[in-house]
């Protein structure tokens, strides 16, 4: 059999081929930036892998604390973490309250409240180390306290980031033990739950996919315990079906994906190794900043940590609002006919003694869009129709893209779009408006038709609509239109104003 081989290629060859396929776009258009501020390159090579290569179970433990595959067990009973629970409740407990848990069998450090507050992977790792450092400072027996540590994390939907976060924790812990003069053989247990922050009460079955991805990243990231949340737990009405699915996800990963047979399958990936190293480096730097600020007690009391977490949460909210990040069922591919259940009441905060601090606000990513859907549901319950008219100009191929976009945007607020037949004249559009008599319309068509209709066509339709609000799909703006629906705009703010039209409280 004749031997064949691919010709050798260099990075430059790949860049030239990529630039040709981009058709004039710069290579930088392929780069992405994570919530941690890390720029992801389109291609990683061996030169990007800077961490020390080791086998599983060997220092620096990037590939896990275990030498052989250990599939995570199910739920573990978590103890109270007074620091993170207090941060969520707006209380900084005294050290005397912290010393109490040192007498328990397990010393729980739970970063899930920070995660639900919006913290990114770097911040979660740094805060885990900062809490551990505080416990070491107040412990009478540092080695004893360290040996009882159980680190609990929440895994979100960004697969590679979550995987890299869990891989990065192990070498960070090794550096931590060295900094505090602890035995390197002292290793904590690691527990992971699928994140509440990524769950949504709208289209809740999509939560199955989110939980599956998070669980997958946790298993590959080598953890000791894994808790998969039922997809409808966020609604407050857990069913037998959702419980069974949540229990079966780890079984599928074990018995069908055979993840109990391999150790650190992501190890050696240039991308994963580089991302692991960068997340770990940034986490250690922020941990050092917290320590320089006086430790986690001082950083929480001053509001330094809350400020940093809030900035990340607001950035994520903005990304969802402008569809820079897609959340199926919430800001994209929403079903306006879906009956959205009211969200369960948030549990009352823990009654802790201590110093009042600024709380780390607990909020799921989908909540801004869920609030819009709930407003629409309230309108429907009063017997009011929540429909919008789409005035479509030109042929189908001309208006379809913008009509589809406008319909999808309105659906995210539970507003059903009713399209006109293709309109070629202002009179046809007027007849559509007069037939429906709706409080809100959106003109959909290409810019060239907008130009052909002239400067005053929006004003003419506005006159025909009476008190109704008329927007234009696209960036084209002319006198007479009340506003626009356009890519890149903040959809939460826009849809809140549109709903106010139906509620009769304001205009767009």
| Phi and psi torsions of 499, nearest 5° | -60, -35
| Phi and psi torsions of 341, nearest 5° | -75, 150
State the DSSP code for 22. H
Lowest-confidence range among 249-253, 349-353, 386-390? Answer: 349-353
pLDDT score for 505:
46
Q: Is 55 helix (H, G, I), strand (E, B) or coil?
A: coil
pLDDT score for 75:
85
Percentage of the chain exceeding pLDDT 90: 77
Tokens 């960036």 belong to: 475
Q: What is the dihedral of CA 65, 66, 70, 76, to 10 degrees?
A: -40
Query: CATH 3.20.20.240 occupies which residues in the chain?
Result: 47-356
pLDDT score for 462:
85
Tokens 């940590």 belong to: 305
Q: Are strands 91-92 and 355-356 parallel, antiparallel or unpaired?
A: antiparallel
Instruction: For residue 303, give every residue at least 6 positions away whose Cβ sits within 8 Å of its Cβ, in sequence order, or none.
Output: 357, 358
Token digits of residue 386: 């929540």
Q: Is 474 helix (H, G, I), strand (E, B) or coil?
A: coil
CATH number of 385-503: 3.40.50.280
pLDDT score for 175:
96
First to last CA, the chain: 72
What is the C-alpha separation between 239 and 236, in angstroms, rounded?
10
Q: What is the mean pLDDT of residues 452-478?
A: 84
pLDDT score for 506:
42
| Phi and psi torsions of 473, nearest 5° | -80, 125
pLDDT score for 53:
75
pLDDT for 51 beyond 80: no
Query: CATH 3.40.50.280 occupies which residues in the chain?
Result: 385-503
CB-based burial, 7-30: b 16+ in 10 Å, e otherwise: eeeeeeeeeeeeeeeeeeeeeeee
What is the C-alpha separation between 220 and 72, in angstroms, rounded?
10
pLDDT score for 504:
85
**How many helices (H) and strands (E) are present in the chain, helices listed first?**
18, 13
Q: What is the mean pLDDT of residues 458-483?
A: 84
Quick: pLDDT tens for 395-447.
999 999 999 999 999 999 999 999 999 999 999 999 999 999 999 999 999 98
Q: Is 88 helix (H, G, I), strand (E, B) or coil?
A: helix
Say if residue 192 is exposed, middle or buried (CB neighbours under 10 Å; 0-12, 13-18, 19+).
buried
Instruction: For residue 271, give every residue at least 6 positions away whose Cβ sits within 8 Å of its Cβ, in sequence order, or none.
Output: 40, 44, 48, 160
| Phi and psi torsions of 270, nearest 5° | -60, -40
pLDDT for 466 beyond 90: no
Q: Is pLDDT larger for residue 223 or for residue 343? A: 223
What is the C-alpha separation between 328 and 204, in angstroms, rounded?
10
pLDDT for 460 beyond 80: yes
pLDDT score for 24:
78
- What is the value of pTM for the model shown? 0.92
H-type alpha helices, 157-303: 159-179, 206-220, 240-255, 270-292, 296-302
Check if the beta carbon of residue 101 is closer than 8 Å to that of residue 80: yes
Q: Is 149 helix (H, G, I), strand (E, B) or coil?
A: strand
CA neighbor of 162 nearest in space, from 317, 266, 41: 266
19 half-sphere exposure, CB direction, 13 A CA radius: 9
What is the C-alpha separation between 36 and 58, in angstroms, rounded?
28
Mean pLDDT of the chain: 92
Q: What residues does 483 pair with on adjacent strands?
A: 471
Check if the beta carbon of residue 286 is closer than 8 Å to that of residue 311: no
Would you identify the CATH topology of the domain 47-356?
A: TIM Barrel (3.20.20)
Q: What is the mean pLDDT of residues 110-126?
A: 98
Lowest-confidence range among 127-136, 160-169, 344-353, 354-363? Answer: 344-353
Integer-rounded Cα Rg, in Å, for the chain is 27
Quick: pLDDT tens for 182-215.
998 999 999 999 999 999 999 999 999 999 999 9
What is the C-alpha separation between 130 and 188, in angstroms, rounded?
15
């Amino acid at each position: 059999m004749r031997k064949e081989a691919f010709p050798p290629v260099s990075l430059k060859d790949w860049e030239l081929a990529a630039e040709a396929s981009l058709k004039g776009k710069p290579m930088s258009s392929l780069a992405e930036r994570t919530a941690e501020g890390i720029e992801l390159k389109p291609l990683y090579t061996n030169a990007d892998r800077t961490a020390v290569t080791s086998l599983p179970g060997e220092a620096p433990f990037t590939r896990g604390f275990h030498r052989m595959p250990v599939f995570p067990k199910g739920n573990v009973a978590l103890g109270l973490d007074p620091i993170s629970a207090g941060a969520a409740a707006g209380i900084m407990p005294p050290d005397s309250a912290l010393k109490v848990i040192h007498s328990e069998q397990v010393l729980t450090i739970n970063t899930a409240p920070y995660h639900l507050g919006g913290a990114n992977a770097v911040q979660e790792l740094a805060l885990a180390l900062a809490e551990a450092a505080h416990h070491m400072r107040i412990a009478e027996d540092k080695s004893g306290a360290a040996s009882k540590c159980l680190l609990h994390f929440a895994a979100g939907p960004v697969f590679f980031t979550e995987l890299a976060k869990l891989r990065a924790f192990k070498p960070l812990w090794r550096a931590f033990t060295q900094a505090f003069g602890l035995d390197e053989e002292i290793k904590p247990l690691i527990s992971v739950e699928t994140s509440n922050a990524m769950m949504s009460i709208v289209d809740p079955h999509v939560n199955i996919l989110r939980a599956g991805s998070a669980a997958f990243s946790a298993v590959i990231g080598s953890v000791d315990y894994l808790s998969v949340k039922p997809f409808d737990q966020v609604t407050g009405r857990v069913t037998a079906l959702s419980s069974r699915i949540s229990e079966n996800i780890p079984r599928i990963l074990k018995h069908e994906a055979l993840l109990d047979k391999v150790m650190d399958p992501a190890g050696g990936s240039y991308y994963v190794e580089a991302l692991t190293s960068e997340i770990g480096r940034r986490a250690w730097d922020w941990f050092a900043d917290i320590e320089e600020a006086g430790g986690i007690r001082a950083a929480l009391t001053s509001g330094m940590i809350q400020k940093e977490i809030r900035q990340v949460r607001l950035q994520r909210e903005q990304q969802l609002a402008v569809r820079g990040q897609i959340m199926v069922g919430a800001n994209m591919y929403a079903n306006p006919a879906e009956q959205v259940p009211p969200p369960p009441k948030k549990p009352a905060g823990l009654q802790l003694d201590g110093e009042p601090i600024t709380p780390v606000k607990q909020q799921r990513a989908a909540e801004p869009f869920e609030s819009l859907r709930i407003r629409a549901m309230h309108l429907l319950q009063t017997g009011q129709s929540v429909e919008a008219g789409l005035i479509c100009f030109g042929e189908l191929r001309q208006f379809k893209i913008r009509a589809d976009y406008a319909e999808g945007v309105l659906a995210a607020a539970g507003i059903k779009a009713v399209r006109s037949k293709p309109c070629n004249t202002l009179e046809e559009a007027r007849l559509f408006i007069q037939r429906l008599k709706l409080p809100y319309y959106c003109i959909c068509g290409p810019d060239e038709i907008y130009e052909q209709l002239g400067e005053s066509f929006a004003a003419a339709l506005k006159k025909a609509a009476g008190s109704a609000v008329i927007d234009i799909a696209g960036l084209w703006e002319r006198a007479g239109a009340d506003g626009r629906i356009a890519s890149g705009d903040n959809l939460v703010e826009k849809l809140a104003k549109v709903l106010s039209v139906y509620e009769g409280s304001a205009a767009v």
